Structure 1
Amino acid sequence: MSSIAENEKNQKQVESLKELSKRKVVEHNSLITSIAKMDKTPLKMFELAVSYIDTEEPPKDHTVYLSKQELFVFFKVDDSNKHTRFKQAVENMQKQAFFQIKEEAGKGFKFRSIVPIPYVEWTDYHDEVKIEFHREIMPYLINLKQNFTQHALSDIAELNSKYSIILYRWLSMNYNQYEHYSYKGGRRKEQVEAYRNPTISAKELREMTDTVNDYKRFQSLETWILKKPLEEINAHTSFNVTYDKVKKGRSIDSIVFHITKKFRADDNSYKLEDKTYNEAKAEKEQSEAQLLKLAIENRYTKLLLEQFLLTPFGMLETETMIGLQKNVYPKYDELKVLRGLEGVKKHISYVHDKQEPYSKGNIAKYLKKAIDQYLPTVKLQDLEQPERASVRGKGEIHE
């Protein structure tokens, strides 16, 4: 592929990522606590489709239109198999995906089994994908005045386990209520704290994750339903979550989660109670939004994309982009003053050629280390050879 075509492709992916990063998924709490009888891919596709719904202006005929480009970016599908994987995902969603919803009704409970998306239509020559929701699922997605949960689509995109997604949605439901009552009032302090430290019985956890007949030993259940999902949630979403096991006799009776939210107005996260809810939220959103916008628009981001040190998928990671904008790009500006833009390009190219596999786990940290090591060398060269300082990038000697 030519460099021009590659750049155009990257630009389209970046635009899709920017759009996805703004999206929210809003669902009724009954849907959050329902049993999702599907694997991770149909569940993520459902979440993506729901993010297209405007709750104030519900879609006509229960239909939304997705962008195929956004869908491929969301699922991180490469060119070689994206159409096959998309077709398989649609087939799986329609063959075996449904929600089993349990609601209080009179003296007992009413159970509903709903196939959420019975109809999907697309062509191989157009970007648009038509998705029609089942009429019975729509009340759980629109006209939500109370008992609903909102969460970030970009958080869901990074989760690669069905159990991670289910647990994240449930934790979001509780933390949403914590934020609501912290701000609005109407609950005693201990009730508000209970939303941030929610409890679920072992039985309810099994029912919600559809593992009633799986992982018979609690140790196995803990590994696959708690430990591994929380590792993903803590690494890729806005939450940090720990938990305690509560025993009844010799058995584990319930789980108590402890949720804190990552505030990154600076390098040190702080707890919500350190400031009022509005102050903390406003500071966090303003700071992150400004830094993220600057990072996406920065010329150095384009240079990193061209050298494949940063991928379009990596741009979904707010922490990575903010880290680049705060800690790396100012150093590139210093280098630009000393060696010109061409000097920055050569440095980035050199770092790409010498890149170690481990660096991909934290590219912002790796790039900061590289420029921190290189800048003193450049400055020393200019002290020892003053004529170099006026060259501005010509004849640059690398590490």
Structure 2
Amino acid sequence: MSLPELSDITVNQSNELLSAQYTLPLPQFRIVLMSLSKVNSSKSSVGSVTITSREFAEAYGYDVTDCAQIMRDAIKSINKSPINMIVEDRLRTFHWFEVTDVPRVGDEGVFKIQFSKSIEPFVFELKNNYSISEFKYVKQLTTLFQFRLYQWLKDGQFLGMNNFQKGSNGSHSIKFEIEWMKERANISGYDDWSDFKKRILQPSVDHINASTNLSVTYEPVKTGRKTTHIRFYVLKENSVDVITKPIRPRLKRRPKVASGSDAHGKWARTNIALLVGYESELKDYDPSEKLAIDDVRRLIDYYKVIGSKFEQKERELEVKERVESKANSSTK
């Protein structure tokens, strides 16, 4: 499977899985997503599905030399994260996979996965009451909560709750209880609304807006004096070319290597490329946008590592001018 083909495939699952409770770390979650994308959900199970380490790396942006080990570790532990679902007033526990067949060693390989018999009714022979998600969007999501929230916002009218309202131009609004969302995504803590909003909700909404075909806003809903629910306003974009503000990339952690070594320089150059590329994307989005000043200071440190004195001095001048400008505006 090459990247052009990824744009044509979907991830299908029954609506019962929309409200099921489960949690998966990112690599395991991505294994499940790609496995679901390999399934013809209108037909019965054909046994195992096959994923290669190269296509997994291509889809998710991993280094192909690291990908096989990432997949081995993820598949090994995936059934430690079962699915809990209420079926006919009983709590049932399912496991994702029944059989896995993976290469023991090597940088590349073919991985074979077979869904468990208990999960098959929610994945295969789906005639109605099921959710369809385009893989080109869901593969961009980087946490399980982002994926769950995306599905709830897109298909929440099928959850059987009296919380869905149609709007104009294909828009809709939908209200969810905060504790209901946390329970289904196995999120503990974050009892304070401001903490949940800052650390879980807002980053997820920002990522969905930037990476998928949904435009989402929201407002808190209080019961008494406590924020207990969130009402979301959702518009599904018809165009895949909608311009959205770029998301800052995650920088690489400094490796445990000697200062001045080749590996140290490679790390600095990688992060320079990430930040400068992000800066360019910001300018394309809005010419007035700038890197956060802390990121400019990071660039200065990286340029020091690789000995680029010209770029270092330019960025030092930029920091000085921005600090002075901020100080002058605050005194007016």
Partner secondary structure for residue 176 of structure 2: strand
Correspondence list, 1:211-360, <5 A:
211=187, 213-264=188-239, 357-360=275-278
Q: Which residue of 2 aligns with 1:128?
A: 110
Contact kept, 8 Å, 1:238 with 1:262, in 2: the verdict is: yes
More helix by share: 1
**CA 82–149 in structure 1, closer or farther in 2 if over 3 Å, else same:** same
- 1:40-82 deviations in whole A, cap 9, x for unaligned? 2212211110111112332323x21223321122232114422
Contact kept, 8 Å, 1:44 with 1:156, in 2: the verdict is: no
Corresponding letter in the other structure for 1:241:
V
- 1:135-177 deviations in whole A, cap 9, x for unaligned? 01011112222221101112121111221112112222237x6
**CA 20–112 in structure 1, closer or farther in 2 if over 3 Å, else same:** same
What TM-score do the two structures reach when normalised by structure 1? 0.56
Corresponding letter in the other structure for 1:117:
F
State the distance in 1 between where 2:57 and 2:11 align.
18
Aligned with 2:50 (options 20, 45, 65): 65
Contact kept, 8 Å, 1:98 with 1:116, in 2: the verdict is: yes
% same residue: 19
Gaps of 5+ in 2: 159-163, 245-272, 288-332
**CA 361–143 in structure 1, closer or farther in 2 if over 3 Å, else same:** farther
Shift, 1:257, TM fit? 0.6
Aligned with 2:186 (options 189, 200, 210): 210
1:115 aligns with 2:90: no
**CA 130–231 in structure 1, closer or farther in 2 if over 3 Å, else same:** same
Q: Which residue of 2 aligns with 1:151?
A: 133
Gaps of 5+ in 1: 1-14, 178-189, 270-354, 370-399
**CA 362–51 in structure 1, closer or farther in 2 if over 3 Å, else same:** farther
Q: Which residue of 1 aligns with 2:255?
A: none
What TM-score do the two structures reach when normalised by structure 2? 0.67
**CA 215–203 in structure 1, closer or farther in 2 if over 3 Å, else same:** same
Larger Rg: 1 or 2?
A: 1
Correspondence list, 1:43-82, <5 A:
43-61=29-47, 63-82=48-67
Contact kept, 8 Å, 1:42 with 1:97, in 2: the verdict is: no
Aligned with 1:90 (options 46, 69, 75): 75
Partner secondary structure for residue 22 of structure 1: coil
Contact kept, 8 Å, 2:2 with 2:55, in 1: the verdict is: yes
Partner secondary structure for residue 37 of structure 1: coil
Aligned with 1:139 (options 109, 121, 137): 121
Contact kept, 8 Å, 2:27 with 2:71, in 1: the verdict is: no
- 1:72-127 deviations in whole A, cap 9, x for unaligned? 22232114422221211112213x22111123x2xxx2211111113221335774
State the distance in 1 between where 2:135 and 2:279 align.
22
